[in-house]
Amino acid sequence: MRKTPTKYTAEFKLHAVQLATQPGMTQTKVAEDLGISNQILGRWIKKHKEAQEQGRPVFTGRGVPALTEQEKRIRELEKENEILRIEREILKRAAKFFANEMK
């Protein structure tokens, strides 16, 4: 039977990366101590380094790269824009309905 993958929190991943990158610590030793595979820790370290080079946080709650503040704001505005479009369409239909009722 297949084992379901374990979900690790962003805090756990960040803590593991910080431990593994401290002087005198090895990736293998940290992985052993935390009960995770060396390959998983290696991937986390690689993602963390790439994110640091890009100047953004790497881990969110689901292991997906975190959004920058600007990207978050864009998503919020896109959602708000969609809501406004829907509301405008509803108002147009209501205006047509009431215009026909008045005749």
Q: What CATH number is associated with residue 33? A: 1.10.10.10
Residue in 46, 39, 23, 78 with CA at minimum distance from that of residue 31? 39
Domain span at 25: 1-66
Query: Which pLDDT value is given to residue 50?
Result: 85
39-85 tens-digit pLDDT: 999 999 998 888 888 777 676 555 555 667 888 899 999 999 999 99
Average pLDDT over residues 93-97: 93
Report helix angle 10-20 to 27-34, nearest 10. Answer: 140
Higher pLDDT, 28 or 8: 28
- Percent of all residues in the chain with a pLDDT value above 90, rounded to a whole number: 39
| 102 and 81 together in one domain | yes
Question: Amino acid identity of 69?
Answer: E
Question: Could you identify the residue written with the tokens 């990158």?
Answer: 21
Residues 30, 18: contact at Cβ < 8 Å? no
- Burial degree of 42 (CB within 10 A; 0-12, 13-18, 19+): middle
Q: Which pTM does this prediction carry? A: 0.54
Residue in 58, 68, 56 with CA at minimum distance from that of residue 10? 58
| 46 and 22 together in one domain | yes
Query: Which pLDDT value is given to residue 73?
Result: 92
Query: Which pLDDT value is given to residue 87?
Result: 95
